[in-house]
Amino acid sequence: MVTILIEAALRGEEIVIAKDDQPVVKLTPVSPVKRRRQPGSAKGLVTISDDFDEPLEDFKDYM
């Protein structure tokens, strides 16, 4: 029974346990389930201009 309640709480259901018709415990997940990063998942979302490593106009006096 406890496992079923825990699984329900992890799915986002609100679980309140009562004693003598008074709520005494509320089950909530401690932290969200972390998804593992997948290499290459941002492919095509980031672009770098051709002049990325060219000196900036504002800094030409320091060169």
What digits encode the pLDDT tens for the residues 2-58? 889 999 988 989 999 999 999 999 998 887 677 788 888 888 898 888 988 888 888
- Rounded CA separation 16/24 (Å): 7
pLDDT at 25: 93
- For residues 15 and 24, the answer to whether their CB atoms sit within 8 Å is no
Judged against a pLDDT cut of 90, whether residue 61 lies above it is answered with no
Structure tokens at 31: 């932290």
As to burial, measured by CB atoms within 10 angstroms (0-12 exposed, 13-18 middle, 19+ buried), residue 15 is: middle
Closest CA to 28 of 9, 11, 4: 9
- pTM comes to 0.43
Q: Is the pLDDT of residue 60 over 90?
A: no
